[in-house]
Amino acid sequence: MEWLTAPFEVAFVQRALWAGILVSAICALAGTWVVLRGMAFLGDAMSHGLLPGVAVAALLGGNLLLGAVVSAAVMTAGVSALGRTPRLSQDTGIGLLFVGMLSLGVIIVSRSQSFAVDLTGFLFGDVLAVRESDLVLLGVALLLALVVSVLGHRAFLALAFDDRKAETLGLRPRLAHAVLLGLLALAIVASFHIVGTLLV
Protein backbone atom coordinates (compact mmCIF):
# COMPACT_ATOMS: atom_id res chain seq x y z
CA MET A 1 0.00 0.00 0.00
CA GLU A 2 3.02 2.27 0.10
CA TRP A 3 2.57 3.12 -3.59
CA LEU A 4 -0.86 4.52 -2.70
CA THR A 5 0.17 6.66 0.27
CA ALA A 6 3.65 7.74 -0.88
CA PRO A 7 2.46 10.59 -3.16
CA PHE A 8 0.62 12.21 -0.25
CA GLU A 9 3.84 12.59 1.72
CA VAL A 10 4.75 15.49 -0.58
CA ALA A 11 3.55 18.90 0.63
CA PHE A 12 2.12 20.15 -2.67
CA VAL A 13 0.06 16.98 -3.12
CA GLN A 14 -1.34 17.39 0.39
CA ARG A 15 -2.31 20.97 -0.42
CA ALA A 16 -3.94 19.78 -3.66
CA LEU A 17 -5.96 17.18 -1.72
CA TRP A 18 -7.17 19.73 0.82
CA ALA A 19 -8.00 22.18 -1.96
CA GLY A 20 -10.08 19.54 -3.74
CA ILE A 21 -11.99 18.74 -0.55
CA LEU A 22 -12.70 22.41 0.17
CA VAL A 23 -13.75 23.15 -3.42
CA SER A 24 -16.10 20.17 -3.48
CA ALA A 25 -17.73 21.31 -0.22
CA ILE A 26 -18.17 24.91 -1.44
CA CYS A 27 -19.61 23.82 -4.79
CA ALA A 28 -21.93 21.32 -3.08
CA LEU A 29 -23.45 24.02 -0.87
CA ALA A 30 -24.20 26.26 -3.85
CA GLY A 31 -24.86 23.54 -6.42
CA THR A 32 -27.63 21.84 -4.47
CA TRP A 33 -29.84 24.93 -4.59
CA VAL A 34 -28.88 25.68 -8.19
CA VAL A 35 -30.02 22.22 -9.31
CA LEU A 36 -33.21 22.37 -7.22
CA ARG A 37 -34.15 25.67 -8.86
CA GLY A 38 -33.32 24.40 -12.36
CA MET A 39 -30.56 26.99 -12.78
CA ALA A 40 -27.77 24.67 -13.92
CA PHE A 41 -27.23 26.74 -17.07
CA LEU A 42 -26.63 29.80 -14.89
CA GLY A 43 -23.65 28.14 -13.21
CA ASP A 44 -22.10 27.35 -16.58
CA ALA A 45 -22.78 30.84 -17.88
CA MET A 46 -21.38 32.55 -14.81
CA SER A 47 -18.19 30.50 -14.78
CA HIS A 48 -17.49 31.35 -18.43
CA GLY A 49 -18.57 34.93 -17.82
CA LEU A 50 -15.52 35.42 -15.59
CA LEU A 51 -13.27 35.53 -18.65
CA PRO A 52 -13.41 39.32 -19.33
CA GLY A 53 -12.44 40.25 -15.78
CA VAL A 54 -9.67 37.67 -15.61
CA ALA A 55 -8.38 38.70 -19.04
CA VAL A 56 -8.27 42.40 -18.15
CA ALA A 57 -6.60 41.66 -14.81
CA ALA A 58 -3.98 39.47 -16.53
CA LEU A 59 -3.23 42.03 -19.23
CA LEU A 60 -2.88 44.81 -16.65
CA GLY A 61 -0.75 42.65 -14.37
CA GLY A 62 -3.36 42.80 -11.62
CA ASN A 63 -4.92 40.24 -9.31
CA LEU A 64 -6.84 37.60 -11.29
CA LEU A 65 -9.12 36.93 -8.34
CA LEU A 66 -10.15 40.58 -8.20
CA GLY A 67 -10.92 40.54 -11.92
CA ALA A 68 -13.02 37.41 -11.44
CA VAL A 69 -14.92 39.07 -8.58
CA VAL A 70 -15.75 42.08 -10.75
CA SER A 71 -16.96 39.88 -13.63
CA ALA A 72 -19.02 37.73 -11.26
CA ALA A 73 -20.60 40.87 -9.78
CA VAL A 74 -21.50 42.11 -13.27
CA MET A 75 -23.00 38.74 -14.19
CA THR A 76 -24.98 38.55 -10.94
CA ALA A 77 -26.34 42.08 -11.33
CA GLY A 78 -27.17 41.44 -14.99
CA VAL A 79 -29.03 38.21 -14.28
CA SER A 80 -30.97 39.87 -11.45
CA ALA A 81 -31.90 42.85 -13.65
CA LEU A 82 -32.91 40.78 -16.68
CA GLY A 83 -34.86 38.40 -14.44
CA ARG A 84 -37.21 41.26 -13.56
CA THR A 85 -37.86 42.10 -17.22
CA PRO A 86 -41.19 40.60 -18.36
CA ARG A 87 -40.15 40.66 -22.02
CA LEU A 88 -37.31 38.18 -21.52
CA SER A 89 -37.35 34.81 -19.83
CA GLN A 90 -34.60 34.12 -17.33
CA ASP A 91 -32.92 31.59 -19.64
CA THR A 92 -32.88 34.12 -22.48
CA GLY A 93 -31.27 36.74 -20.25
CA ILE A 94 -28.68 34.28 -19.00
CA GLY A 95 -27.91 33.23 -22.57
CA LEU A 96 -27.44 36.83 -23.69
CA LEU A 97 -25.09 37.59 -20.79
CA PHE A 98 -23.24 34.31 -21.30
CA VAL A 99 -22.55 34.98 -24.97
CA GLY A 100 -21.84 38.66 -24.44
CA MET A 101 -19.36 38.21 -21.59
CA LEU A 102 -17.63 35.24 -23.23
CA SER A 103 -17.31 37.11 -26.53
CA LEU A 104 -15.92 40.16 -24.75
CA GLY A 105 -13.38 37.95 -23.00
CA VAL A 106 -12.31 36.30 -26.25
CA ILE A 107 -11.88 39.71 -27.89
CA ILE A 108 -9.71 40.91 -25.00
CA VAL A 109 -7.64 37.72 -25.07
CA SER A 110 -7.16 37.95 -28.84
CA ARG A 111 -5.58 41.38 -28.41
CA SER A 112 -2.70 39.79 -26.53
CA GLN A 113 -0.25 37.31 -28.06
CA SER A 114 1.02 36.09 -24.69
CA PHE A 115 -2.21 35.00 -23.04
CA ALA A 116 -2.27 31.30 -24.00
CA VAL A 117 -0.77 29.94 -20.76
CA ASP A 118 -3.02 32.03 -18.53
CA LEU A 119 -6.08 31.05 -20.57
CA THR A 120 -5.22 27.37 -20.16
CA GLY A 121 -4.95 27.86 -16.42
CA PHE A 122 -8.27 29.71 -16.44
CA LEU A 123 -10.05 26.89 -18.29
CA PHE A 124 -8.49 23.90 -16.54
CA GLY A 125 -7.12 25.28 -13.26
CA ASP A 126 -3.93 24.10 -11.58
CA VAL A 127 -4.66 22.07 -8.47
CA LEU A 128 -1.00 21.13 -7.97
CA ALA A 129 0.03 24.79 -7.72
CA VAL A 130 -2.15 25.51 -4.67
CA ARG A 131 -0.45 27.63 -2.01
CA GLU A 132 -1.24 27.86 1.68
CA SER A 133 -2.83 31.27 1.11
CA ASP A 134 -5.20 29.63 -1.39
CA LEU A 135 -6.24 27.11 1.26
CA VAL A 136 -6.95 29.94 3.70
CA LEU A 137 -9.05 31.69 1.05
CA LEU A 138 -10.97 28.49 0.33
CA GLY A 139 -11.53 27.95 4.06
CA VAL A 140 -12.97 31.45 4.45
CA ALA A 141 -15.15 30.95 1.36
CA LEU A 142 -16.43 27.63 2.73
CA LEU A 143 -17.26 29.23 6.09
CA LEU A 144 -19.10 32.07 4.39
CA ALA A 145 -20.98 29.68 2.09
CA LEU A 146 -21.96 27.55 5.09
CA VAL A 147 -23.27 30.57 7.02
CA VAL A 148 -25.28 31.79 4.01
CA SER A 149 -26.69 28.30 3.39
CA VAL A 150 -27.76 27.86 7.01
CA LEU A 151 -29.28 31.32 7.38
CA GLY A 152 -31.01 31.19 4.00
CA HIS A 153 -32.10 27.55 4.12
CA ARG A 154 -35.79 28.25 4.73
CA ALA A 155 -35.99 30.95 2.06
CA PHE A 156 -34.01 28.88 -0.46
CA LEU A 157 -36.23 25.87 0.15
CA ALA A 158 -39.46 27.82 -0.36
CA LEU A 159 -37.99 29.54 -3.41
CA ALA A 160 -37.07 26.18 -4.95
CA PHE A 161 -40.74 25.16 -5.07
CA ASP A 162 -42.85 28.30 -5.44
CA ASP A 163 -41.97 32.00 -5.51
CA ARG A 164 -45.51 33.00 -4.53
CA LYS A 165 -45.47 30.67 -1.53
CA ALA A 166 -42.18 32.22 -0.41
CA GLU A 167 -43.76 35.68 -0.78
CA THR A 168 -46.78 34.59 1.26
CA LEU A 169 -44.53 33.32 4.04
CA GLY A 170 -42.72 36.66 4.13
CA LEU A 171 -39.41 35.18 3.01
CA ARG A 172 -38.63 37.95 0.47
CA PRO A 173 -37.99 35.79 -2.62
CA ARG A 174 -36.23 38.55 -4.58
CA LEU A 175 -33.67 39.02 -1.83
CA ALA A 176 -33.31 35.25 -1.45
CA HIS A 177 -32.73 34.92 -5.20
CA ALA A 178 -30.07 37.64 -5.12
CA VAL A 179 -28.35 35.96 -2.16
CA LEU A 180 -28.44 32.63 -4.00
CA LEU A 181 -26.79 34.25 -7.01
CA GLY A 182 -24.16 35.68 -4.68
CA LEU A 183 -23.57 32.23 -3.19
CA LEU A 184 -23.11 30.79 -6.67
CA ALA A 185 -20.71 33.59 -7.59
CA LEU A 186 -18.73 32.95 -4.40
CA ALA A 187 -18.38 29.25 -5.21
CA ILE A 188 -17.23 29.93 -8.77
CA VAL A 189 -14.78 32.71 -7.91
CA ALA A 190 -13.25 30.74 -5.05
CA SER A 191 -12.86 27.58 -7.13
CA PHE A 192 -12.01 28.57 -10.71
CA HIS A 193 -8.23 28.89 -10.24
CA ILE A 194 -8.12 25.44 -8.59
CA VAL A 195 -10.22 23.27 -10.90
CA GLY A 196 -10.85 25.60 -13.85
CA THR A 197 -14.06 27.06 -15.21
CA LEU A 198 -14.81 24.01 -17.36
CA LEU A 199 -15.23 21.87 -14.23
CA VAL A 200 -16.62 24.29 -11.69
**CATH number for position 83:** 1.10.3470.10
User: What stretches in the chain show pLDDT beneath 70?
Assistant: 113-119
**In the chain, at which residue ranges do the beta strands (DSSP E only) sit?**
none
User: Is 154 part of a structural domain of the chain?
Assistant: yes
pLDDT at 115: 56
pLDDT at 116: 52
- pTM for the predicted model, two decimal places: 0.84
User: Is 39 part of a structural domain of the chain?
Assistant: yes
Range(s) of the domain holding residue 111: 22-195
Say how many domains are in the chain: 1
On average, the pLDDT of the chain sits at 85
User: Is 121 part of a structural domain of the chain?
Assistant: yes
HSE-CB at 79 with a 13 A cutoff on CA atoms is 29
Distance separating alpha carbons of residues 99 and 51, to the nearest angstrom: 11
| 18 within 8 A of 24, measured Cβ to Cβ | no
Tell me the pLDDT tens digit for each residue of 14-34. 999 999 999 999 999 999 998
